[in-house]
Structure 1
Amino acid sequence: MLGPVEVCGPHGRAALSGARQRSVVAALALRAGTPVPVDRLVDVLWGDDPPRTAVRSLHSYVARVRQALADCGMPGALMTKPGGYQLDASVDAERFERTKDLSLWRGEPLAGTELFGWGRAEIDRLREQRIAALEVHWADRLNRQNAAEELERLVVSHPTRERLVGLLMRALHLGGRHADALEEFHKLRSRLAEEFGADPGPELIALHTAILRRDPALHGTRPAQLPARAGHFTGRAAEFAALAELPPIVVVSGVAGVGKTTFAVEWAHRVADRFPDGQVFLDLQRLTPAQALTEMLHSLGVPADRIPVDPATLYRTLLHGKRVLILLDDVRRAQDVLPLVPGDQGNLLLITSRDTLSALGTRHAVHTVRLGLLSEQEAHALLAGILGAPRVCAESGATSNLVVHCGRLPLALRIAAARLAVRPGRRIADLVRELTRNDPLDVLAVDGDDRTVRTVFASAHRTLSPQAARLFRVLGEHPGASFSADLADALGPGLDELVASHLISEAGNGRYALHDLIRLFARQSGDLSDGVERLLDRYLTIAHAANNVLNPRHDLVTRPHCDDLPFAANRVEVLAHLDAERDNVLHVIRLAARSGLQRETWQLAYLLTSYFEARGNWAARVEQCEHAVRAARALGDQRAEAEMLRGLGIALQMTSRIAEAMVVQRQALVLVREAGDLRGEARLYNNIGNAHSELREFDLALESYRAATRVHRAAGDEVGVALARRNLGYTYVRMGRPDLAVEPLFAALETFRAEANPRLEAATLMSLGNAFHQLADLAPALRYFGDALRISREVTDHRFEADALIGLGVTQLALGDPAVARECLAGALAVCRALGDRHREASTLHHLGEAERALGDLGAARDHLAAALAARAQAPDLFAQAQVHRTFADLEGRYGRWTEAARHWAQAVALFTSCRRS
């Protein structure tokens, strides 16, 4: 296309005869890869007055071109599309648009064709692209000996093109032809006046003036101001790869100390040879925009007495047609950069900033590089580069600990390495110990260097608005790994400012985090005595609103109504929000306890009771309740103490610490009796009965449930009565007396449905499923388990969901369908593990082993049973453990491993005997 039209295929050049065939190829190649309608082709081939036979002639030309393409090895390149034709081929014109490679040109574009309308416009566009590329080409080569000669030839063809004339004037001036340069200006001015009645533009007039004055800046000093590279540069391969195409404006942003300047300087050195007109470096931390512009002109060779009133125009003029790399370090605001943006995209503006400078992107095309922390491997490599690989390898464990204490922050790692490097005999473990025992912000400093982790953070902090600084201080008290946007917004304005300055980073899913060292700095960045209270107040507000949705009967704590909530008042949204906060809850309760805020400690643990009943994570719940019990006891609040002892007992029971659970439940029982709290007393009887049931002390369990029923009835609590009945039926099932279980379970089910309590309805349906399973009436058992599963998922109660899936799996196994049973049990296992419920996990693994045994996969069965025994070590249940050994013995017998079978039988018998004795 960039010369006479030709098509070259694998077998050589296509034989295109006549201008019409070449024109067809040219028109299709101009839209290569895109269908061109027939009417558009007629327009471009015949113009405004096509013959009546134009369409028929077009089809004929296309057929001949298609044959010529096939002959040269390109069959199928010219395709018929609905309403037109499409050419699929590599086109030199398209390649030139991407690369500006002038060697692709062989003459006039589309030579040998006869095109009209849009075809002629395309020819003009290609000509313009070529001359623009030639201008860029010669702008980089004005000092070459033949520059003026080549530019004179181009000006002859384009006598009114101002940029081209300007390049010629520069080349003549640089070559000592001062008068000729001025003459070219006068010739252009005359032509423009005669032909268009216009004058040359301001850039050319400024150039004419500079030549008249013989301005030394025209001779172009070549600045080379890049700072030295940092030693032992490590990582950032992906970030460098993203800059391979040299975008004209790059902003490198990231948290203080992450290595923005180090990265920018390293990359600038790597690409410096692609900017032959020089590299300029300015530290904008200490310069106003006006001072920065003056410094930039000085760097480009402009004397102080020659800097005009409007230096920005001269700055852009000097950079026009050049290739200069400009590195602006430590930019604070987008406004400071705007006057320094070159007008010519051949230059590169490289910026480092703690801010993302998003405002700059509203005016210019900006490529942003967001530097994150080093990976653990990169951090090790950096330390090894500075300290030497043998030293790091000799203390690999201590090195890993050092990386953790430095938070994988490059500045912290370099400072730590520098401290170790000056004392070759010091162990890395000694520095880790110093970081552990002292304030890391004090330790991470080197004598004689004022660039410490603390000073770098302080520099970023000083630029914050008062509101953002206050929010930063409050969020520094947050003890969890991440926090939600709504929490930050509820605590005050400034989140977007903190994120833009990289003092807070996005953690995904609408959550944010502080680097550990930044969190420590935030806590030290000024007095904010109410920071912890404000955090806890927000968590209490959320927990109270959530509790009102999950279990309004849980009403020991009251708080003012709040409309500013991050969830709607429905169970699904409440649980989803608390799921996102689950890892934070224990940390927040620890913070309250550590801060001596006793009321907030027990109230927060209390209000989260219903969440943990639905979601598990009982090990964390034990510690929460222990903090809450101590807090309530310190306050002398017996009712709160009793309630949290009750919660602690449930958590202990769910972690298979049943004997301890019994102790704390009885402690709580004494307190509620003293307080005359009938409802609390009845609840505790229920819980004590559950503990007895799990210990297989069934008579004592039944006695406790009857007591619970009696007290619930005295308190007028029909839901409590139904709960005691449900527990009674559950225990009858565990006793192997399903015939006695059915009546109290149906009575409980009726109450729960009348009271619209779907969670306890699901629990009762599961007990009914187990009862009918024991009665060998499997059809209703499947139905009850299925209903329980549906309801559990509707209310997103994962604990009951796991129980329902286990019930379905065991029933399907009894029905002789082990494949379906395995599917149900696999689903249950995933839920149990997500809950961290080792007791249910062990039971599920046992049943999975039975399903695999029924399917004939004895290896998988053995693995599941072994895993069940391992889980039982953390959730002891002698009877359940004995059942696993019994199944294991049968399995080993099928393998023919009689010794192993006998060992498992002996363990099963011993455990069953222990259960009977106890």
Structure 2
Amino acid sequence: MLGPVEVCGPLGRAGLTGVRQRSVVAVLALRAGTPVPVDRLVDVLWGDDPPRTAVRSLHSYVARVRQALADCGMPGALVTKPGGYQLDASVDAERFERTRDLTLWRGEPLGGTELFGWGRAEIGRLREQRIVALEAYWAQRLDRQDAIGELERLVVSHPTRERLTGLLMRALHLDGRHADALEAFQRLRSRLADELGADPGPELSALHTAVLRRDPALQSTTPRSHTTRPAQLPARAGHFTGRATELAALAGLPPIVVVSGVAGVGKTTFAVEWAHRVADRFPDGQVFLDLQRLTPAQALTEVLHALGVPADRTPADPAALYRTLTHGKRLLIVLDDVRRARDVLPLVPGDQGNLLLVTSRDTLSALGTHHAVHTVRLGLLTEPEAHDLLAGILGAPRVHAESGATAALAVHCGLLPLALRIAAARLAVRPGRIADLVRELTRNDPLDVLAVDGDDRTVRTVFASAHRTLSPQAAWLFRVLGEHPGASFPADLADALGPGLDELVASHLVSEVGNGRYALHDLIRLFARQSGDLGDGVQRLLDRYLTVVHAANDVLNPRHDLVTRPRCDDLPFTADRVEVLAHLDAERDTLLHVIRLAAKSGLREQTWQLAYLLTSYFEARGNWADRVEQCEHAVEAARALGDRRAEAEMLRGLGIALQMTSRIAEAMVVQRQALALVREAGDLRGEARLHNNIGNAHSELREFDLALESYQAAMRVHRAAGDEVGVALARRNLGYTCVRMGRPREAVEPLFAALETFRAKANPRLEAATLMSLGNAFHQLADRAPALRYFGDALRISREVTDHRFEADALAHLGVTQLALGDPVVAREHLTDALAVCRALGDRHREASALHHLAETELALDDLAAARDHLVAALAVRAQAPDGFEEASAHRTFADLEGRCGRWTEAARHWAQALRLFTSCRRS
């Protein structure tokens, strides 16, 4: 890098051909060991106007460079990372920054490349580092015979560099050439006046005076500083913990560093710690300024004072003097608690031998449009780091004695360093147990508890100072997002509420957590909820969810049409089923909390409508335990509104959810309540649906005759309502129940009739359900070839419509059929896949059945240990989803296993348990 760009590997020099290949290597080497995003690479290789083919061309160059590296013995050095590329190699430029070894230089840095933007800035930075190193080198060697000649050449190349001129003046004076020394000063003064309108700085002016007076001190070969060497760094924080990755990223001493992060994350602590670690590499001193209390003009004046400029000598344009004084120096300047990028700009040194370290709650992205900036984003501590911090302050024995309480304290503090330090400070001055403080945090407002008497820097005041800087729109959005009940929220939600998300992210009050989702730290969310008036914020938030789930329902199942809302173009998905389900999957953990928020806020209409519109999603995805509570809130809201039709519909939904969670008796009760309501209202369609659902409950209870009666009633009412799809659904359910009764021949005719209707009406989901029932019918008829075909078609359709519940069923049926055909290896593959889908759905009933069938498969493969593991797991899961017949079948298989192991007593026990369960089921 320190000359023409070259790569040397174990097998020799890499064959880099062309400017672009050398440029790719150069920019990746500038960030060696760190991923460089593709967009950053495009910017540096093509500038502000890249061709449309830039990304494709970049991939091509990378491929050729990768091959060249492999040829020279460095395979794997250039790796693909998410969104970019990374070069892992030893780089001479990085070695020079550590050692200041001038022999590493071979010419102009990054020779043979063509770079733009930050790449050119990096070339300038490397040049600056070289000249600073040369100055330091010759400052110690002024009495060498070649010193004057080398310094004169350097001054010609850098005619306004005061330190070089000063070194040349000293060397000339030592050589007895006093007039030449004074002439060198005059040349610089004239040049500065013509080009910058400035005079030489006080140090060089003092040297000029000393030469005029033939000061004996000038006979020393070591230059004497005539300016103040500031040492203003605050003391390090006690017990600094973690941040190893962030510290390592700064090993190369980039010229401008911005440390950003959420309030209380330890930005100042980190900056001061790192500044102390590298202070000896800045021999001209360290300046520290708190910009929360200073204007940029005041800050400039403070820096000048620190550099020895008297208060009465501060010029009208202090920025020019600042750049002059820092020119050719190695100063470390720390600006703490910066609010805006424009506050930093006047304080950027004129050359890059200095280092500017900035801390800010804002990312200060605008600073990067003016200068090359290295950003360090501090996140929360890890749990081990939080433990180490508390142990460092409180002592390892105390923390070890209450390890559980310590872990709980870290959680209550949200792994936020400031909160942890305040908690530790409270514990350090009182003898109580850590568990007592955890209990106090649990019972009281943590923002009140996390404070120390006599210290006004509390978690609340730190958050408040960040909140005060927000625009009114962002502050309102912050308060509303504080009410969002989920762990994260999508960007489209915040954008629909109003402007301000970018400002909140830049201020680190909101964090991006990936996949277009954002979150508030737990303590920040609590602060947001206490920060002022929301107006209609909660209602607007819930209305956005209603808009989104209404549009999703229109795609998934428009038959759920009790709720109508105006169309919206600002949606986070298109009318694609897969895309809709993916969006709702990302929101799945939030949906119940949103309905809880609606219920708690007294917004009854939003409560039941949200639950109703999510019906089609839960039909496709399951997770029925959450669905039970959703429907309970919806029933209560509809009942309070006096909306009998909505109440009946949500009772129906509650009944389905209860049935799917194996609470069949409760399901039957609420379905009959709903049936009474729809009959009273004369709702034929609703009545027919409820007959279907009641039939399903009877079927699950193995009350097959009652189930068939309900399905016949459903068909009659569906016909009266003119609902062909409803009639077909009742037929399908009737056929399904005939299969369960062991009467497959009676099932075939209604199932084929239902299949014809579903295909004609383009209802692939119910088509898949019917195909599975047909597969089961033919499986019972020992006609396995069509059974496999129907199950395979059902699996294909289920995956096309991303219905995971039917996908799990189809996989399980394929596995059972392959086992019956004598192919346990293929059966195990299908059943293993089925088990994974069931667990993702949280469907305990299906999970227990899949485990049982897997045990049967392992028995067929003579893997008795695996069979035992699956059976133990099946019975454990079955306890959470009771089904007497299924449990009896599992015990019967367990008896077979124990018999094959020669454990006859255990076999007899399982047979007895199976018999007891079968008998109990038949009686009931």
Structure 1 Cα separation of the partners of residues 710 and 93 of structure 2? 88
Q: Does 1:367 align with 2:367?
A: no
How far did 1:254 drift? 0.3
The whole-number CA distance in structure 2 between the counterparts of 1:415 and 1:97 is 39
| C-alpha distance in structure 2 between counterparts of 1:103 and 1:406, whole Å | 47
Superposition deviation, residue 273 in structure 1: 1.2
Do the aligned partners of 1:402 and 1:432 also contact (CA within 8 Å) in 2? Answer: yes
2:329 matched to which residue of 1? Answer: 322
Look up the SS of the partner of 1:449 in the other structure.
coil
Residue 99 of structure 1, aligned match among 96, 101, 105:
96
What is the aligned partner in structure 1 of residue 429 from structure 2? 422
Query: Does the C-alpha gap of structure 1 residues 900 and 300 become closer, same or farther in structure 2, counting only changes over 3 Å?
Result: same
Structure 1 counterpart of 2:350, one-letter code: G
Q: SS state of the match for residue 160, structure 1?
A: helix
What is the SS of the residue equivalent to 2:350? coil
**Are the counterparts in 1 of residues 142 and 171 from structure 2 also a CA contact under 8 Å?**
no
Aligned to 1:532: 538
1:160 to 156, 159, 162: 156
Q: Is the 8 A contact 1:789 1:801 kept in 2?
A: yes
Alignment of 1:114-125 (within 5 A): none
Inter-partner Cα distance in structure 2 for 1:457 and 1:192:
51
Whole-angstrom CA distance in 2 between matches of 1:176 and 1:450: 58
Distance verdict in 2 for CA 1:181–1:645, change over 3 Å:
farther
TM-score relative to the length of structure 1: 0.84
Aligned partner (choices 870, 882, 886) of residue 880 of structure 1 = 886
Deviations 1:254-306 (A, max 9, x none): 00000000111111111111111111000011111111111111111111222
- The Cα shift of 1:94 comes to 8.7
Q: Is the 8 A contact 1:142 1:167 kept in 2?
A: no
Matching of residues 425-504 of structure 1 within 5 Å: 426-504=432-510
**1:874: Cα distance to partner?**
0.5
Comparing 619-628 with 896-905, greater Cα deviation is found at 896-905
Change (3 A) 1:781 1:28: closer
Give the distance between the partners of 2:821 and 2:793, measured in 1 at CA: 18
Q: How far apart are 1:577 and its partner, in Å?
A: 0.6
Whether contact under 8 Å (2:148, 2:168) holds in the other structure is: no
Distance 2:309 2:126 in 1: 32
Spell out the pairing of 1:73-472 with structure 2 (5 A cutoff): 95=92, 99=96, 105=103, 135-137=131-133, 139-140=135-136, 146=142, 151-155=147-151, 160-163=156-159, 166-167=162-163, 169-171=165-167, 183-187=180-184, 205=200, 219-424=226-431, 426-472=432-478
Q: Retained in 1: the 8 A contact 2:426–2:452? A: yes
Distance 1:400 1:130, change over 3 A: closer
Cross-structure match for 2:864: 858
**1:33 corresponds to:** 14
Q: Is the contact between residue 168 and residue 181 of structure 1 (CA under 8 Å) also seen in structure 2?
A: no
Cα deviation, residue 447, structure 1: 1.3
Distance 1:350 1:863 in 2: 58
Counterparts of 1:466 and 1:220, CA distance in 2:
47
Task: Kindly provide the CA deviation profile for residues 728-778 of structure 1, in whole angstroms up to 9, marking residues without a partner as x.
Answer: 000000000001100111111111111111111111111000000001111
CA shift for structure 1 position 247: 1.3
Cα separation, 1, equivalents of 2:503 and 2:550: 30
CA deviation string 1:143-180 (max 9, x = no partner): 75847987435235567345598436534888996997
User: In 2, distance between residues paired with 1:475 and 1:843?
Assistant: 42
Q: 2:577 aligns with which of 561, 567, 571?
A: 571
Taking the aligned partners of 2:125 and 2:683, their CA distance within structure 1 comes to 89
| Secondary structure at the counterpart of residue 558 of structure 1 | coil
Partner of 1:591: 597
**Which of 547, 562, 569 in structure 2 is aligned with 1:541?**
547
1:635-646 matched pairs, under 5 angstroms: 635-646=641-652
Please say if residues 160 and 188 of structure 2, whose CA atoms lie closer than 8 Å, have aligned partners that are also in contact.
Answer: no
Letter matched to residue 874 of structure 1:
Q
Alignment-derived partner of residue 652 in structure 1: 658
- Asked if the contact 1:28/1:36 (under 8 Å) is kept, the reply is no
Q: How far did residue 188 of structure 1 move?
A: 7.4
Is residue 152–residue 168 contact of structure 2 (8 Å, CA) maintained in 1?
A: no
Q: 1:658 to 1:175 in 2, by over 3 A?
A: same
Q: CA deviation at 1:390?
A: 2.1
Contact 2:815 2:826 in 1 (8 A): yes
How far apart in 2 are the matches of 1:346 and 1:366?
A: 15
Deviates further, 874-883 or 132-141: 132-141
Residues 389-432 of structure 1 show CA distances to partners (whole Å, capped at 9, x for unaligned) of 222222222222221111111111111111121112x2222222
User: Which secondary structure does the structure 1 equivalent of 2:483 belong to?
Assistant: coil
CA contact (8 A) 1:257 1:409 kept: yes
Encode CA deviations 1:36-71: one digit per residue, 9 max, x unaligned: 89xxxxxxxxxxxxxxxxxxxxxxxxxxxxxxxxxx
Question: Is the Cα–Cα contact under 8 Å of residues 892 and 898 in structure 1 kept in the other structure?
Answer: yes
Which one-letter code corresponds to 1:684 in the other structure?
Answer: L
What RMSD over aligned residues (CA atoms) do the two structures have, in Å?
3.4
User: Could you say what secondary structure the match of 1:285 adopts?
Assistant: coil
Contact 1:189 1:200 in 2 (8 A): no
**Residues 834-853 of structure 1: matches in 2 within 5 Å?**
834-853=840-859
CA distance in 2, matches of 1:97, 1:619: 57
Find the aligned partners of 2:777 and 2:125 in 1 and give their Cα distance.
Answer: 84
- Please tell me whether residue 813 in structure 1 is matched to residue 796 in structure 2: no
CA deviations 1:806-840 (Å, max 9, x no partner) are 11111111111111111111111111000000001
Per the alignment, residue 826 of structure 1 pairs with 832
C-alpha spacing 1:147/1:793, structure 2 compared with 1 (3 Å): farther
Q: Are 2:593 and 1:612 equivalent residues in the alignment?
A: no
Instruction: Tell whether the 8 Å contact from 1:152 to 1:168 is kept in structure 2 after alignment.
Output: no
Change (3 A) 1:94 1:287: closer
In 2 relative to 1, CA 210–203 (structure 1 residues): closer, same or farther, beyond 3 Å?
A: farther
Change (3 A) 1:314 1:174: farther
Q: If you compute each CA radius of gyration, which structure gives the higher value, 1 or 2?
A: 1
Which runs of no fewer than 5 residues in structure 1 stay unpaired? 3-24, 38-81, 111-116, 119-127
**Helix, strand or coil at the partner of 2:288:** strand
CA contact (8 A) 2:148 2:171 kept: no
Q: TM-score, normalised by structure 2?
A: 0.84
One-letter code aligned to 1:228: A
Deviations 1:420-456 (A, max 9, x none): 21112x2222222222222211111111111111111
> CA separation in 2, counterparts of 1:511 and 1:786?
37
Q: Which residue number corresponds to residue 527 of structure 2?
A: 521
Taking the aligned partners of 2:568 and 2:125, their CA distance within structure 1 comes to 64
Unaligned runs of 5+ in 2: 19-66, 75-89, 113-123, 212-222
> Cα–Cα, structure 1 residues 849 and 529, in superposed 2: closer, same or farther, change >3 Å?
same
How far did 1:103 drift? 6.0
Q: Which of 504, 514, 538 is matched with 1:508 structurally?
A: 514
Deviation at 1:307, TM superposition (A): 2.0
**Match for 1:711 among 697, 713, 717?**
717
1:423 counterpart SS class: coil
DSSP-derived class of the 2:292 partner: helix
1:295-339: per-residue Cα shift (whole Å, max 9, x none)? 111111111222222222221221122211111000111111111
**Letter aligned with residue 33 of structure 1:** A
1:773 to 779, 784, 792: 779
Partner residue in 2 for 1:74: none
